Chains A and B, each alone.
Chain A
């Protein structure tokens, strides 16, 4: 993985010193809250319901065991013993004191981490496929481009005060695991007809109160032009994006207002006018960065493990884990293991300091010292030898990290919601907990099959509900929490925005309503192989509406 060079280290270290000074000046009153707020936001520090919240970047979701141990240490020393992994592949601490944050940032810098640009109207942490570099179906590893984009966008003087935040995601396999079409810029790695590497460029995707699927502005962008083209997009957005209304300030609104043709022309004109040489990526530089992400030397291994096969035959829970949480690896004899942060009844994405230490130990012992954070709020061990699966599973299970539910109904994305967030209008986590308990991680959940439920506690959609197969949006109405259901959303290569079923449901009835949706799907699917999205796209909304509002009379709003 990428290691800081002298420039990175000096830059991050200087930023810690600057922030320490800013915090000192705030605490002594030299800076007002209004003056201080932009500084703290640029360093990932929010003020939430109960306390400050610090969001730490995990660039493209990749870290090593030393870094994860440091995150655990920070949770223990400065927070309340846990952290929350997010849909941006970041980690958030819910209880840090302002006066401690310079020390936290210094601790982070000691392991080449920071919280820079995890908030504010700037280019945020670049995200990528969490199986990058190890998945069998990959065209190229997206992380070198994530790193190149990170270096280009960090403190970019022109793009530090954008109209609004700006999110970029890169995906390297035909199957989109990074939800790129829900980003301001989505980059899909492809080969052109000549076999050259490049990108399909999507612009203007985004969720929030006005959800849009990204539109294709370039069918093929040569690899060398990555930064020039992104600079052209950002420049058009920076100049033309609205600054009069924060709800209309994202590039998706500019695209909507200018039209795809208008925005594409503006970007292409800007691109043509740029100094093409200034930002053209030299092949040597691409290779230099790519070398950091090269597949480690993995000892050749047999492509099947007799001990795993034997145990699967007699341990049904282990067998279930292998079915859902173990993914084929590009190297024979190895597997990608998804560490579930979705225990039944737990808060999606939360990990205790002890759990973080345990995963760090496992990464060191069994996974080439590397860990990934997925945007689905799980952790990944990307290089596990098949023969080690039994041992890895046992250690995960002993720490409550082996719930066999990756990709199933209880693998729910949920934002922190009203339990933590100052913007939320309703709670998210308790709904996720009750749904997970209702459907469990056993036979019923396997019978339902792969299903993505995503829950947001307000219209800002941090829980990605618009792109959930089943989305739940928590709102407040007349002082009560109410939950709207959307169906048919997708964040993959067939991206779509879910449609609202109709009137919302109370906290008491929402779990039954989701049960009704799932039962309707199961009754309508042509076979167990027909997934929820396929069934929904085939039969449409009507059968679900009927089941929710006519047969069961379930809505009470």
Chain B
């Protein structure tokens, strides 16, 4: 199962994703897609260390799935976290071009 590590940044609470360099990014597209158990375990350890260092709060794994040729969070909850409120497209990551834009993908598939 493909996935990614996510958390909320301590200082402002914004949603962040673990990137390939062990840092955090606000942009879902810049997050590291992890494909195997070893990578998942290592990334979770990196996340836990970052939480212990008071950079982020409660890092955890989210499942991803390929849709429309790109990875998107599998759970609606995580898709909304990675995008912003579905009722306010002018707010959150979607307003900054950082979202997986699952709504557009869903609309295209419908």
* Contact digits for B81-95, partner A, Cβ 8 Å, 1 yes 0 no: 100111110011000
**Interface SS of chain B:** loop
Q: How far is the CB of B85 from chain A (nearest CB, A)?
A: 4
- A418 touches which of B11, B74, B80, B84 (Cβ 8 Å): B80
Say yes or no: B13 contacts A98, CB within 8 Å.
yes
Is B34 an interface residue when CB atoms closer than 8 A count as contact? no
CB atoms of B12 and A98 under 8 A apart? yes
- The answer to whether A47 touches B91, judged by C-beta atoms less than 8 angstroms apart, is no
Are B10 and A49 in contact, CB atoms less than 8 angstroms apart? no
Q: Mark A36-66, 1 if CB is under 8 A from B, else 0.
A: 0000000000011111100000000000000
Looking at the complex, which one of A48, A80, A433, A476 makes contact with B87 (CB distance below 8 Å)? A433
Instruction: Given A29-B53, A29-B54, decide whether A419 and B85 contact each other with a Cβ distance below 8 A.
Output: yes
B57 surroundings in chain A (CB, below 8 A):
33, 47
| C-alpha gap A444/B51 in the complex (Å) | 54
The answer to whether B13 and A418 have CB atoms under 8 Å apart is no
A 475-534 contacts with B by CB, 8 A: 476, 479, 481
Once the chains bind, are B54 and A80 in contact (CB under 8 Å)? no
| B55, chain A: closest CB distance, angstroms | 10
Inter-chain CA distance A52–B57, complex, in Å, is 11
The interface residues of chain A lying within 8 Å CB-to-CB of B85 are: 50, 419-420, 429
B87 CB, nearest partner CB in chain A, Å: 5
The contact string, 1 if C-beta is below 8 Å from chain A, for chain B 73-110, is 01111001100111110011000000000000000000
Instruction: Tell me the bound Cα distance from A462 to B6 in angstroms.
Output: 27
Tell yes or no: A136 within 8 A of B by CB: no
Interface residues of A, count at CB 8 A: 29
A-B pairs with beta carbons under 8 A, tally: 72
**Which of B11, B14, B54, B58 touches A50 (beta carbons < 8 Å)?**
B14
A474 to chain B, nearest CB (A): 11
Interface assignment of B18: CB less than 8 Å from any CB of chain A: no
Contact indicator A49/B81 (Cβ below 8 Å): yes
Task: Report the bound CA distance from A95 to B95 in whole Å.
Answer: 14
| Given A50-B81, A97-B13; A479-B74 close (CB under 8 Å) | yes
Known: A418-B80, A481-B76. A50 touches B87 (CB 8 A): no
Q: A97's contact among B12, B75, B76, B84, by CB below 8 Å, is which?
A: B12
| Residues of A contacting B72 in the complex (Cβ-Cβ under 8 angstroms) | none
Q: Is B15 an interface residue (CB 8 A)?
A: yes
Would B11 and A99 count as touching, CB distance under 8 A?
yes
A539 within 8 A of B: no
Query: Is the Cβ of A418 less than 8 Å from the Cβ of B12?
Result: no
In the bound assembly, the distance between CA atoms of A348 and B84 in angstroms comes to 18
Q: Is the CB of A49 within 8 A of B77?
A: yes
- In Å, the complex CA distance between A108 and B75 comes to 37
Minimum distance in angstroms from B64 CB to a CB of chain A: 14
Q: Which residues of A contact B10 (CB under 8 A)?
A: 26-27, 33, 98
Judged by a CB distance under 8 angstroms, whether A372 is at the interface is no
Question: Do A51 and B8 have beta carbons less than 8 Å apart?
Answer: yes
CB distance from A419 to the nearest CB of B (A): 4
Nearest chain B CB to A77's CB is how many angstroms away?
Answer: 14
How does the 8 Å CB contact mask read for B46-74 relative to A, with 1 for contact and 0 for none?
00000101100110000000000000001
Establish whether residues B8 and A47, one from each chain, have CB atoms under 8 Å apart when the complex forms: yes
CA distance A433 to B91 in the complex (A): 18
- In the bound assembly, the distance between CA atoms of A80 and B80 in angstroms comes to 18
- Let me know if B13 and A52 touch, CB within 8 A: yes
Of all chain A residues, which has the CB nearest B58? A33
Q: Which residues of A contact B53 (CB under 8 A)?
A: 29
Tell me whether A430 is interfacial, beta carbon within 8 Å.
yes
**Per a CB cutoff under 8 Å, which of A47, A50, A96 touches B92?**
A50
Q: List 8 A-B contacts (CB under 8 A).
A: A28-B54, A50-B14, A50-B81, A51-B13, A98-B10, A418-B77, A420-B85, A481-B76
Known: A47-B8, A49-B77, A97-B11. 15 other contacts (CB 8 A): A29-B53, A33-B10, A33-B58, A47-B58, A50-B84, A51-B8, A51-B14, A80-B91, A98-B10, A347-B87, A418-B76, A418-B77, A424-B77, A430-B86, A479-B74
